[in-house]
Amino acid sequence: MAVYGYARVSSLSQSTEIQESLLTEAGCSIIRTEKVSGKSRHGRDELSNLMEFLRDGDTLVVCKLDRLGRSTRDVLNLVHELEAKGASLRILEPAIDTSGPMGKMILTVLGMVGEMELNHLKERQKAGIQAAKAKGVYKGRPAKLDHAKIRELSSSGMNVTEVAKTVGCSRGAVYKALEGREKLPTNST
């Protein structure tokens, strides 16, 4: 009977250090971490590895439910998979343990609340972007490439490959910057 920890953050700029510390204090012998969105299980390789590794009597520990997942269905499917293996889930904050029936019921409710919270966040973000666009403040993500420079180099006779090397981008990015114009000749060498 082993205790395994799982820590997750959504972006590369965030740190799992605090979660790792709490999981160590909770007695986790192995802690797996990843930096990936929790909106689905897709691409969460460390969680998949843990799920394959867990055995009868083992416990998977997470600091908070949203670290395990943002989708009620995904969380409940994970709990079901753990139960099928004879393993359980323990959440540190708030303290929930699925080894008993009350823990499963609370987990279901919290999963639904977490998913609802994510949906509200997306709605607020969308409303904020629309309001900013209406004011003329929001223009989208700034362009990473200098399109004027690409057009200038292209007009000076450089081919797509040369322009891409000069600007430091892909040939496809050059074509996109020149969209609507006649395609440039590719490097013939």
Write out the catalytic residue numbers.
10
Give Cα separations from 3 to 7, 14, 27, 59, 121 (angstroms).
Answer: 13, 25, 7, 5, 33
Q: Tokens 């969380």 identify what position?
A: 75
Contact 134, 126 (CB under 8 A): no
Give the number of other CB atoms < 10 A from CB of residue 147: 15
106-115 b/e (C-beta count within 10 Å ≥ 16 → b): bbeebbeebb
How many beta carbons lie within 10 A of that of residue 103, not counting itself? 18
Query: Can the peptide bond before residue 185 be classed as cis, meaning omega within 30 degrees of 0?
Result: no
Sign of CA dihedral 51, 55, 57, 58: negative
Strand partners, 67: none
